[in-house]
């Protein structure tokens, strides 16, 4: 019986432009934390090894500091780590791995599988067959050799690869670094640990994408886990248990507001956020003055709750009622202007009038509030 | 509104109280020269309204020098059907009292009521300023200020708007302008007011984004460079490993060596070829030599045959020549015989002639002697000695010409002999002791030399005879000449009784000696017998001697031949001899030729025979056959050797040509260069690897991609901000334009009544012209119809007079609006329109009259004559003052 953790796509060094500057730093930091958590989990579950199926680093030329930090984050688990070069950190002649070696940053218990050669997992009957990428892209199936490599009977055969399983990832059909769909079977693998796909995904009973341990995009595909893999004996079907590791929940929510209760729902959604949430909120539909005030206020409050909110209200039209207009004190030509803008915001080129209407309403609202205050 | 009464006291020029009552509706005209208080009156009205009664800043209202006075103004007016009385006392006893229809109002309350009613405000502190004056400030025109409109309108604007706003109130917006200003402010924070270009935070965001983009581009290209350098590094490393293992230059070096070996072999062949060529040349030469040698052998045999023929021919030639010589010799012998006869005959003829001469002389002498003897017998005795001498001398006598002739002959003979000796054949001999030879007629022994002038027979005792025929020479002729000359000489000698020339010479010498003796004897005889006796004797002696001599001479001659009488003459004999000698000479010459021909032919035969002999010797030499055989054998072997060499050379040349040494040389160079190049590239690649490796290490540590990721992140964030700002700025701009447009619409509606009034008055002054209004209701520009269409001009750009007229018109228009809005209107024109020309002034008077039908107008002027047609009576301020002068004085 062996037990190990399968993870991949750490993408250390990734930066987040899709959120604001102060938020992006925390998100980048979270990737190191995720690795630290994996180390803790590995210790906690007393695994025999941790297999990282490629893209440990997001790029070849990360700073020295980043390299040191990554390897330092592994300290929590003193058992063997097997790191596989992926397409982002391919084992080129000069690579992040070569630099790590030069920097003397790689601890002894960490093995970088830079060559397609079997690696023994110390203290076990397991052999890892790695398929490292030695180029950024390849059109050959680097796992081909797994099938031809014989091992002693009674040895666990564990494949470690980074690429696209052909035929199952529809949008990646033409992509590089292919992996044959039935590789686990043809190569008599007990388990094939894959990386590249950022969501956790089972390909067949012995083949899994672990996904990235810390999500990095608003795509709900099961990212944010590592896989605890247990094999009773060679040849038996592995027991695979996803363990959540994500610190941040990346969520993308879309809401269409038509009536006041829709605003209630948005308020409820926003008030339920906490510091782990990285939310993308897309609002559409229409609100009156009150609805708008509530939505703005709810978003403002939620910013204090969540790690990050990316709210897109561009598609949310402002439809002030006559009462609203009166309440805003928009008499005379202001009233006429508001009437114009209300009419124009519905037109195909309505974005600018809609924004103008919002500005005008905001100004009036503010003046009114100031007037009320004085 | 109608001002009905003004009272002043202690007010500037008006120290004394003055009352102007009974002011009418419409125009009130006040006239007076300068300094009569027109403006003070207007000022008093202003002070009454604008200055707080408690103000301490109104010292200027006091009469000059009167520091304790209490300037007081009292006004009465009606408005809205109510009667107002306002009393204002400043400085001294400050007071403000207002009664409205008898209802009193005091102090500040009164003042504020008036301000509200008329539309002005009080200064916070100090004297009231123009900006506080509001509507009255606009309507009450100060002296020289009618043309100023902008500021007064600005100061009155708020009151005007407020006053007029009511009429169009429902169209205006209560907060509109504030919102508009805020929108404009917000908009102008992001966009430049005029061009609408980004500014402030917007520009900064764009600039920052551009800067980021630039930096990102730089870093991106750095990343791309780095990546391609990594690829290059990998490629180089692979190539390096391949070359290090394969060492491709070694194969090329081996090829170069192989090619060099082949080239060396070809060089060796070429050297051999050169040697063989030399050998071939030698062999060819030897073959030629042998061929020539063999040809020589053949030629010798041909020559022999030829020479044999030649010898035969030459021999027959000699035979013919010999025959001819014999014929010629016979002819010569015959001719010589003839000559001999001729010579003999001539000698005989000459001898006979000489005998006859001698005979004649003898006979003459004898005769002479006999005659003389007779004569001389008588003197002979005496002269015996002399005679003897003379006789002796006479015997020795020899004429000089004879001697000379003899000498000449002897000389010629000697010459001929010498010539003969030269041309004669010399026969030298050296005989053994005891041996003798007969040469010609001479016996010789021992050694010696004989000259042979003619064929001579040499008798070899016991052996035979050698006949020597001297060759080509004229010895024979010379000999003939000698004989001929000898005989002439001999005859002459004989004639003169001498044996030889030497004898003749001796006799001549002796004769000369004898002559000397004779001359001595004659001298003695002459001395003894000086007359002709000597001569006679001499003659007798001579004759005697002559006779003796000639007898002796005659005696020496042989007896005359029998045929003496038939002998030819000496000349004939000489001719015959000469002819015979000529014949001999000719024939001898021919003989000589024949002999020479013979001799030549003989010599030729000798030469030919000698050559033939040599040829025979050669041809019949004992080793000749062997030599020819040897030569033939040599030729065969030399040809064989030559052929071997030639074919060897040909084969080798083909080999060399086939080997293509120049191509081999190129191969050597090519292989070497290629090897060098590969080796060099290997070295260079190694260097580049080291350099690139170091470079990559350095660049890798820069964290370029991490930096790029950061930049991309920042750019994305900033990009969103720029988009937001752009959207906001566009929205603000849009909003601003919308609000401005809306507001302009409202303003236009607001301006409509004012515009109407403006055009009403303008129609009187300038028919067809229009004034456009600014938003603050002040006139902006004047649009006039001209021949070229509409012409627009800014008010500020117009002439002073025109601006003044428009200023007045505008104020009437405002007054009309204010009247409609139920506000008090009263207008003051202080010395206005002084700059108008007559025509304009006339029109302005019509305007004024028209306005005055609705408003009260106070008109002050120092030119009363210009205003006589207003239909009102003028009040003279000077008159008013003088009326009250006593009162003024009393107060003072």
User: Using one digit for the tens of pLDDT, what is the confidence trace for A267-276?
Assistant: 989 988 888 8
Query: Do B176 and A367 lie within an 8 Å CB cutoff?
Result: no
Of the candidates B774, B21, B849, the one whose C-alpha atom is nearest the C-alpha of residue B829 is: B849
**Residue A47 pLDDT > 90, yes or no?**
yes
Cβ contacts of B174 on chain A, cutoff 8 Å: 329, 331-332
Decide: B816 and B787 in contact? Cβ < 8 Å.
no
User: What pLDDT, on the 0 to 100 scale, is given for residue B885?
Assistant: 44
pLDDT band at B890 (very low <50, low <70, confident <90, very high): very low
Give B8-21 pLDDT, tens digit per residue. 888 888 888 888 88
- Which of B86-100, B323-337, B769-783 has the lowest average pLDDT? B769-783
State CA B688 to chain mean position distance: 47
Q: Kindly state the average pLDDT of the residues B96-111.
A: 88
pLDDT band at B169 (very low <50, low <70, confident <90, very high): very low
Q: Kindly state the average pLDDT of the residues B699-717.
A: 83
- Which of A10-19, B90-99, B655-664, B738-747 has the lowest average pLDDT? B738-747
Chain B residue at shortest CA distance from A98 = B697
**Residue B141 pLDDT > 70, yes or no?**
yes
Helix (H) or strand (E) holding B30: strand B27-31
Residue burial B701-726, b: 16+ Cβ < 10 Å; e: rest: bebbbbbbbbbbbbbbbbbbbbeebe
Q: Kindly state the average pLDDT of the residues B324-339.
A: 89
Give A72-120 pLDDT, tens digit per residue. 999 999 999 999 999 898 888 888 898 899 889 899 999 999 999 999 9
pLDDT band at B393 (very low <50, low <70, confident <90, very high): confident
pLDDT band at B701 (very low <50, low <70, confident <90, very high): confident
Q: Which residues of B, range 227-246, sit inside 8 Å of A by Cβ?
A: 227, 229-231, 233-234, 237
**Residue B510 pLDDT > 60, yes or no?**
yes
pLDDT band at A167 (very low <50, low <70, confident <90, very high): confident
Q: Which residues contact B812 (CB under 8 A, 6 or more apart)?
A: B757, B761, B827, B847, B851, B855
pLDDT band at A71 (very low <50, low <70, confident <90, very high): very high
Angle between helices B384-395 and B501-528 (to 10 degrees): 160
Cβ contacts of A329 on chain B, cutoff 8 Å: 174-175
**Residue A325 pLDDT > 80, yes or no?**
no
Helix (H) or strand (E) holding B152: helix B150-168
* Most confident range, picked from A163-167, B205-209, B526-530: B205-209
Q: Kindly state the average pLDDT of the residues B102-130.
A: 85
pLDDT band at A127 (very low <50, low <70, confident <90, very high): very high
Burial of B93 from C-beta contacts in 10 A (0-12 / 13-18 / 19+) = exposed
- DSSP 8-state code for residue A199: S
Of the candidates B76, B47, B134, the one whose C-alpha atom is nearest the C-alpha of residue B818 is: B134
Give B253-274 pLDDT, tens digit per residue. 898 889 889 888 888 988 999 9
Q: Kindly state the average pLDDT of the residues B362-384.
A: 66
- DSSP 8-state code for residue B805: H
pTM above 0.80, yes or no: no
Give B444-463 pLDDT, tens digit per residue. 888 888 777 777 888 877 88
* A/B interface, count of CB pairs below 8 Å: 160
Q: Which residues of B, range 172-201, sit inside 8 Å of A by Cβ?
A: 172-176, 178-179, 182-183, 186
User: What pLDDT, on the 0 to 100 scale, is given for residue A4?
Assistant: 94
Of the candidates A316, A341, A298, the one whose C-alpha atom is nearest the C-alpha of residue B179 is: A341
Nearest by CB to B705, which of A59, A99, A363?
A59
Substitution target in B187, B233, B705 with the highest count of A β-carbons within 10 Å is B705
Higher pLDDT, residue B541 or A103: A103
User: What pLDDT, on the 0 to 100 scale, is given for residue A369?
Assistant: 75
- Which of A94-103, B494-503, B532-541, B701-710 has the lowest average pLDDT? B532-541
Instruction: Report residue B24 as tokens.
Output: 């009418």
Chain A residue at shortest CA distance from B707 = A62
B722 touches chain A (CB under 8 A): no
B528 touches chain A (CB under 8 A): no
- DSSP 8-state code for residue A346: T
Nearest by CB to A61, which of B705, B713, B731?
B705
Nearest by CB to B234, which of A63, A92, A356?
A92
Distance (Å) from the alpha carbon of A263 to chain B's nearest alpha carbon: 24
Residues in a beta bridge with B845: none
B190 to B48, B180, B725, B787: CA distances (angstroms): 50, 16, 8, 47
pLDDT band at A182 (very low <50, low <70, confident <90, very high): confident
Higher pLDDT, residue B701 or A170: B701
**Residue B170 pLDDT > 60, yes or no?**
no
Q: Which residues contact A230 (CB under 8 A, 6 or more apart)?
A: A1, A2, A3, A238, A239, A240, A241
Cβ contacts of A96 on chain B, cutoff 8 Å: 700
Query: Do B171 and A332 lie within an 8 Å CB cutoff?
Result: yes
Higher pLDDT, residue B174 or B739: B739
B246 to A277, B242, B254: CA distances (angstroms): 61, 6, 14
Q: Which residues contact B407 (CB under 8 A, 6 or more apart)?
A: B501
Distance (Å) from the alpha carbon of A73 to chain B's nearest alpha carbon: 18
pLDDT > 70 in chain B, percent:
92
User: What pLDDT, on the 0 to 100 scale, is given for residue A128?
Assistant: 92
User: What pLDDT, on the 0 to 100 scale, is given for residue A192?
Assistant: 93
Distance (Å) from the alpha carbon of B744 to chain A's nearest alpha carbon: 9
Give B193-217 pLDDT, tens digit per residue. 888 888 888 888 888 888 889 998 9
- What is the rounded average pLDDT for all residues in chain B? 83
DSSP string, A60-117: S---HHHHHHHHHGGGG--S-EEE---STT---SS-HHHHHHHTT---TTEEE--SS-
- Which of B202-206, B360-364, B763-767 has the lowest average pLDDT? B360-364
Q: Which residues of A, range 315-354, sit inside 8 Å of B by Cβ?
A: 329-337, 340-341, 351-353
**Residue B884 pLDDT > 60, yes or no?**
no
B534 to B382, B385, B390: CA distances (angstroms): 10, 12, 10
Give A208-244 pLDDT, tens digit per residue. 999 899 998 887 778 889 999 999 988 889 999 999 9
Decide: B782 and B792 in contact? Cβ < 8 Å.
yes
**Residue B886 pLDDT > 60, yes or no?**
no
Query: Do B179 and A334 lie within an 8 Å CB cutoff?
Result: yes
Instruction: Report residue A75 as tokens.
Output: 């300290």
User: What is the CA angle B186-B187-B188, rounded to 5?
Assistant: 90
User: What pLDDT, on the 0 to 100 scale, is given for residue B498?
Assistant: 79
DSSP SS3 for B862: coil
Query: Do A337 and B734 lie within an 8 Å CB cutoff?
Result: no
Query: Do B717 and A329 lie within an 8 Å CB cutoff?
Result: no
Chain B residue at shortest CA distance from A89 = B705
Q: Please report, to the nearest 10 degrees, the dihedral formed by the alpha carbons of residues B377, B382, B387, B389 taken in order.
A: 160
Q: Which residues of A, range 103-142, sit inside 8 Å of B by Cβ?
A: 136
How far apart are alpha carbons B890 and B892 in whole angstroms?
A: 5
User: What pLDDT, on the 0 to 100 scale, is given for residue A74?
Assistant: 92
Give B16-46 pLDDT, tens digit per residue. 888 888 888 889 988 888 877 888 888 888 8
**Residue B892 pLDDT > 50, yes or no?**
no
Cβ contacts of A105 on chain B, cutoff 8 Å: none
* Most confident range, picked from A370-374, B3-7, B793-797: B3-7
Burial of B533 from C-beta contacts in 10 A (0-12 / 13-18 / 19+) = buried
ipTM of the complex: 0.80
Locate tokens 């919002």: which residue? A358
Query: Do A14 and B182 lie within an 8 Å CB cutoff?
Result: no
DSSP SS3 for B36: coil
Higher pLDDT, residue B163 or B695: B695
In chain B, count H helices and then E strands: 20, 20
A95 touches chain B (CB under 8 A): yes
Q: Which residues of A, range 33-92, sit inside 8 Å of B by Cβ?
A: 58-66, 92
Cβ contacts of A330 on chain B, cutoff 8 Å: 173, 175
First vs last Cα of chain A: how many Å apart? 77
Widest Cα–Cα separation across chain B? 253
Q: What proportions of chain B, in percent to the nearest 5, are helix, strand and coil?
A: 70, 10, 20
């Amino acid at each position: 019986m062996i037990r190990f953790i399968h993870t991949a796509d750490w993408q250390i060094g990734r930066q987040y432009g899709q959120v604001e500057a102060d938020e992006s730093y925390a998100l980048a930091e979270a990737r190191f934390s995720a690795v630290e958590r994996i180390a803790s989990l590995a210790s906690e579950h007393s695994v025999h090894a941790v297999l990282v199926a490629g893209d440990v680093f997001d790029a070849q030329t990360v700073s020295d500091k980043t390299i040191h930090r990554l390897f330092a984050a592994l300290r929590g688990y003193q058992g063997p780590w097997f790191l596989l070069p992926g397409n982002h950190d391919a084992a080129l002649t000069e690579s992040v791995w070569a630099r790590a070696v030069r920097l003397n940053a790689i601890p002894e218990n960490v093995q970088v599988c830079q060559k397609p050669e079997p690696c023994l997992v110390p203290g076990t009957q397991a052999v890892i067959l790695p398929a490292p990428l030695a180029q950024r892209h390849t059109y050959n199936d680097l796992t081909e050799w797994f099938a031809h490599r014989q091992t002693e009977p009674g040895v666990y055969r564990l494949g470690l690869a980074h690429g696209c399983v052909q035929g199952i990832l529809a949008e990646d059909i033409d992509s590089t670094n292919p992996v044959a769909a039935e590789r686990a079977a043809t190569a008599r693998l007990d388990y094939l640990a894959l990386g590249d796909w950022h969501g956790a995904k089972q390909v067949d009973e012995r083949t899994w994408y672990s996904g990235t341990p810390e999500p990095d995009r608003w795509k709900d595909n099961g990212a944010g886990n590592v896989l605890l893999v247990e094999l009773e004996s060679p040849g038996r079907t592995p027991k695979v248990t996803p363990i959540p590791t994500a610190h941040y929940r990346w969520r993308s929510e879309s809401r269409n507001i038509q009536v006041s209760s829709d605003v209630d729902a948005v308020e409820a959604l926003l008030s339920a956020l906490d510091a782990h949430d990285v939310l993308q909120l897309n609002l559409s539909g229409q609100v009156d003055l009150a609805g708008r005030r509530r939505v703005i206020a709810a978003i403002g409050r939620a910013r204090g709750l969540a790690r990050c909110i990316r709210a897109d209200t561009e598609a949310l039209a402002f439809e002030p009622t006559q009462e609203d207009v009166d309440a805003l004190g928009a008499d005379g030509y202001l009233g006429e202007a508001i009437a114009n803008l209300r009419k124009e915001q519905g037109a195909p080129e309505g974005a600018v009038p809609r924004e103008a209407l919002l500005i005008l309403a905001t100004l009036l609202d503010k003046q009114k509030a100031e007037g009320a205050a004085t | 509104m109608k001002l009905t009464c003004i009272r002043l006291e202690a007010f500037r020029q008006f120290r004394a109280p003055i009352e102007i009552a009974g002011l009418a509706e419409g125009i009130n005209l006040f006239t007076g020269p300068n300094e009569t208080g027109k403006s003070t009156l207007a000022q008093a009205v202003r002070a009454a309204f604008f200055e707080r009664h408690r103000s301490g800043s109104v010292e200027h209202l006091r009469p000059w020098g009167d520091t304790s006075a209490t300037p007081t103004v009292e006004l009465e007016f009606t408005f809205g059907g109510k009667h107002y009385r306002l009393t204002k006392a400043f400085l001294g006893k400050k007071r403000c009292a207002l009664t409205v229809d008898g209802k009193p109002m005091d102090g500040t309350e009164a003042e504020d009521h008036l301000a509200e009613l008329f539309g002005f405000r009080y200064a916070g502190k100090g004297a009231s300023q123009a900006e506080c004056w509001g509507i009255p400030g606009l309507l009450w025109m100060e002296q020289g200020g009618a043309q100023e409109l902008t500021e007064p309108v600005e100061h009155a604007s708020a009151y005007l708007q407020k006053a007029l706003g009511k009429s169009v109130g429902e169209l205006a917006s209560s907060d509109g302008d504030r919102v508009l200003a805020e929108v404009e402010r917000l908009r102008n924070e992001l966009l430049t007011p005029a061009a609408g270009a980004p500014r402030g935070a917007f520009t900064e965001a764009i600039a920052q984004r551009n800067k980021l983009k630039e930096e990102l581009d730089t870093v991106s290209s750095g990343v791309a460079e780095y990546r391609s350098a990594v690829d290059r590094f990998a490629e180089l490393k692979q190539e390096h490993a391949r070359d290090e293992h394969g060492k491709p230059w070694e194969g090329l070096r081996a090829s170069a060596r192989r090619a060099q070996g082949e080239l060396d072999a070809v060089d060796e062949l070429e050297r051999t070829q050169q040697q063989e060529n030399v050998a071939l040349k030698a062999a060819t030469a030897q073959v030629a030599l042998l061929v020539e040698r063999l040809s020589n052998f053949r030629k010798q045999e041909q020559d022999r045959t030829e020479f044999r023929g030649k010898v035969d021919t030459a021999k027959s030639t000699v035979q013919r020549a010999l025959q001819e010589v014999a014929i010629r010799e016979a002819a010569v012998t015959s001719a010589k015989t003839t000559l001999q006869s001729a010579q003999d005959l001539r000698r005989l003829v000459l001898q006979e002639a000489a005998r006859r001469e001698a005979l004649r002389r003898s006979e003459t002498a004898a005769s002479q002697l006999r005659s003389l003897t007779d004569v001389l017998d008588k003197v002979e005795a005496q002269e015996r000695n002399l005679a003897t001498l003379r006789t002796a001398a006479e015997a020795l006598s020899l004429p000089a010409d004879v001697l000379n002739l003899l000498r000449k002959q002897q000389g010629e003979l000697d010459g001929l002999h010498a010539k003969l000796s030269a041309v004669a054949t010399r026969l030298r001999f050296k005989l053994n002791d005891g041996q003798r030879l007969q040469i010609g007629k001479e016996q010789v022994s021992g050694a010696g030399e004989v000259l042979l002038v003619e064929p001579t027979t040499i008798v070899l005792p016991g052996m035979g005879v050698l006949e020597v025929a001297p060759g080509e020479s004229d010895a024979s002729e010379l000999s003939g000449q000698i004989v001929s000359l000898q005989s002439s000489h001999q005859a002459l000698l004989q004639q003169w009784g001498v044996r030889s020339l030497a004898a003749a010479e001796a006799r001549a010498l002796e004769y000369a000696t004898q002559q000397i003796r004779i001359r001595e004897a004659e001298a003695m005889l002459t001395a003894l017998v000086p007359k002709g006796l000597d001569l006679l004797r001499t003659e007798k002696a001579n004759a005697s001697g002559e006779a003796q001599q000639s007898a002796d001479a005659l005696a020496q001659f042989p007896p005359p031949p029998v045929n003496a009488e038939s002998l030819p003459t000496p000349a004939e004999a000489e001719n015959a001899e000469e002819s015979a000698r000529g014949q001999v000479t000719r024939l001898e010459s021919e003989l000589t030729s024949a002999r020479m021909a013979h001799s030549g032919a003989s010599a030729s035969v000798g030469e030919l025979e000698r050559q033939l002999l040599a040829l025979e010797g050669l041809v019949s030499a004992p080793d000749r056959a062997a030599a020819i055989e040897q030569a033939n054998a040599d030729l065969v072997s030399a040809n064989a050797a030559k052929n071997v060499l030639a074919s060897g050379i040909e084969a080798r040349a083909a080999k060399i040509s086939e080997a293509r040494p120049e191509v081999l040389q190129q191969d050597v160079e090519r292989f070497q260069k290629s090897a060098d190049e590969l080796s060099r590239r290997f070295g260079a690649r190694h260097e580049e690897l080291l350099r690139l490796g170091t470079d990559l290490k350095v660049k890798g540590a820069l964290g370029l991609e991490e930096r790029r990721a950061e930049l991309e992140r920042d750019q994305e964030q900033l990009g969103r901000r720029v988009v937001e700002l752009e959207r906001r700025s566009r929205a603000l701009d849009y909003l601003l334009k919308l609000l401005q447009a809306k507001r302009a619409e409202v303003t236009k509606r607001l301006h409509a009544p004012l515009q109407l009034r403006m055009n009403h008055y303008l129609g009187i002054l300038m028919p067809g012209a229009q004034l456009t209004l600014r938003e603050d209701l002040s006139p902006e520009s004047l649009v006039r119809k001209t021949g070229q269409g509409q012409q627009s001009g800014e008010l500020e750009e117009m002439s002073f007079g025109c601006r003044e007229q428009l200023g007045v018109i505008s104020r009437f228009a405002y007054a009309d609006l204010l009247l409609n809005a139920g506000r008090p209107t009263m207008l003051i024109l202080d010395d206005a329109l002084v700059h108008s020309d007559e025509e304009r002034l006339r029109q302005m008077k019509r305007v004024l009259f028209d306005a005055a039908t609705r408003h009260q107008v106070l008109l002050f002027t120092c030119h009363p004559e210009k205003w006589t047609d207003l239909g009102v009576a003028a009040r003279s301020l000077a008159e008013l003052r003088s009326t009250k002068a006593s009162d003024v004085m009393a107060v003072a």
